[in-house]
């Protein structure tokens, strides 16, 4: 899921941990983290500047609680009491810390973690069990079954790994103690404060227990790993039982993934990407790479700058983006991404993630064939 606001500089993984994902080529961290012990206050250091665990004593946390209560029309005492029970988790802060310089991204290694026999078998079982629901989601939104299956498979292996961190701990840790070493720490801390507000407003306003829900180290929840703001905006009651449940209802998860991608302008029938090659004599890589993964070039514009397209790509009526996938010390891989490729990156700000979703969905679809 989309964990951070987009950045024009992001070609590497992002549900903010995308850079970390590529560095370690693994799934989002879901292991239970140990509680962080209280640190003594050093002379000349304000309590508000120290990492948790007691957010009930943090002036910045208390002010945020009061602001949330005012904006959401909640009892300020209850909001303070709830936030006071959040705990700093060092493993969460470590998970979003930028990887060491010099760690090479590797698409082939990254892909192998997602497009592999365990996930493919689980995807086949999920597709077979929920065939009618998946087909209904495709009919209503235009998002293909294999893309929906790919997303849920990459995110949680179809519900097998939905995360073991308390959501309140993840959001509080990243809202108030986002690692200062990160180059965009201020922006990301602000993002997580908005997610914390969404979460507290949603749980306290609906009678849910904000201390009970668990998710990823970034606070993403359920089979599709929706952040609180995405749950509020895009989650749907697809099983018609009167409640939205992305944890216990595969139907709601299926419908919500499809609804999310539709909201980000999924175009039915449009391929996600095309193969390409380069004409070295005309190649203008600097211009081609400048827009990042945003589709910007017409087919003719692509060709003018040294990209060679064939087959159905030549008749593509929309815009294209040059998608680069680094392979460690080996040559990078490239594809021509369409608006539908870009739509998948709105779920998670990463071209690596998007292609893993596409490839896993295709592998499951192939395994479904007799």
Q: Tell whether the model's pLDDT for residue 14 goes beyond 60.
A: no
Average pLDDT over residues 291-317: 97
Catalytic annotation on 155?
yes
Is residue 278 in some structural domain? no
Q: Tell whether the model's pLDDT for residue 4 goes beyond 80.
A: no
Is residue 349 in some structural domain? no
Q: Tell whether the model's pLDDT for residue 40 goes beyond 60.
A: no
Give the model confidence (pLDDT) of 256-280 as tens digits: 999 999 999 999 999 999 999 999 9
The total of structural domains in the chain comes to 1
Q: What is the pTM of this model?
A: 0.86
Is residue 361 in some structural domain? no
Give the model confidence (pLDDT) of 79-97 as tens digits: 999 999 999 999 999 999 8
Contact call for residues 86 and 92 (beta carbons, < 8 A): no
Is residue 151 in some structural domain? no
Buried b vs exposed e over 242-262: b needs ≥16 C-beta within 10 Å? eebbbeebbbbbbbbbbbbbb
Is residue 346 in some structural domain? no
Is residue 306 in some structural domain? no
Give the model confidence (pLDDT) of 203-250 as tens digits: 999 999 999 999 999 999 999 999 999 999 999 999 999 999 999 999
- Give the C-alpha separation, 52 to 35, whole Å: 10
HSE-up (13 A, CA, CB side) for residue 326: 14
Q: Name which of 201, 136, 137 is nearest 168 in CA terms.
A: 201
Comparing 159 with 6, the larger pLDDT belongs to 159
**Reported confidence tier of residue 53, pLDDT bands at 50, 70, 90:** low
- Please pick, among 138, 146, 155, 195, the residue that the annotation labels catalytic: 155
Is residue 58 in some structural domain? yes
The answer to whether the Cα torsion of 136, 140, 145, 150 is positive or negative is: negative
- CATH code of 78's domain: 1.10.8.350
Is residue 146 in some structural domain? no
Opening angle at CA 216, ends 259 and 83, nearest 5: 105
Pairing of strands 214-215, 165-166: antiparallel
Locate 6 and state its tokens: 């987009």
What range does the domain containing 90 cover? 49-96+163-263
Q: Position of tokens 């201390």?
A: 211
Locate 232 and state its tokens: 């509020």
Q: Tell whether the model's pLDDT for residue 6 goes beyond 60.
A: no
């Amino acid at each position: 899921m989309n964990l951070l606001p987009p950045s024009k500089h992001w070609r590497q993984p992002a549900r903010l941990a995308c850079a970390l994902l590529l560095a370690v080529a693994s799934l989002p961290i879901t292991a239970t983290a140990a509680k962080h012990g209280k640190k003594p206050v050093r002379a000349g250091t304000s309590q508000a500047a120290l990492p948790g665990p007691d957010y009930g004593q943090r002036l910045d946390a208390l002010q945020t609680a009061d602001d949330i209560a005012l904006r959401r029309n909640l009892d300020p005492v209850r909001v303070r009491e709830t936030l006071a029970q959040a705990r700093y988790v060092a493993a969460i802060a470590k998970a979003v810390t930028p990887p060491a310089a010099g760690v090479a991204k590797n698409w082939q290694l990254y892909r192998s973690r997602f497009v592999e026999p365990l996930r493919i078998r689980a995807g086949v079982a999920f597709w077979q069990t929920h065939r009618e629901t998946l087909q209904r989601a495709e009919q209503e939104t235009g998002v293909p079954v294999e893309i929906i299956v790919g997303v849920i498979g990459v995110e949680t292996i179809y519900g097998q790994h939905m995360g073991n961190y308390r959501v309140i701990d993840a959001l509080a840790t990243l809202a108030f103690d986002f690692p200062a070493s990160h180059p965009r720490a201020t922006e990301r801390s602000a993002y997580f404060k908005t997610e914390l507000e969404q979460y507290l407003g949603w749980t306290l306003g609906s009678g849910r227990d904000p201390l009970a829900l668990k998710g990823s180290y970034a606070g993403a929840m359920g089979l599709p790993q929706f952040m609180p703001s995405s749950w509020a905006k895009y989650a749907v009651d697809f099983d018609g039982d009167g409640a939205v449940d992305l944890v216990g209802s595969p139907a709601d998860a299926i419908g919500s993934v499809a609804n999310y991608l539709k909201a980000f302008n999924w175009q039915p029938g449009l391929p996600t990407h095309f193969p390409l090659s380069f004409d070295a004599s005309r190649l203008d890589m600097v211009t081609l790479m400048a827009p990042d993964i945003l589709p910007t070039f017409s087919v003719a514009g692509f060709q003018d700058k040294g990209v060679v397209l064939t087959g159905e790509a030549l008749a593509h009526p929309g815009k294209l983006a040059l998608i680069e996938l680094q392979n460690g010390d080996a040559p990078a891989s490239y594809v021509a991404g369409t608006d539908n490729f870009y739509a998948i990156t709105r779920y998670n700000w990463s071209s690596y993630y998007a292609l893993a979703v596409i490839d896993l969905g295709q592998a499951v679809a192939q395994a479904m064939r007799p």
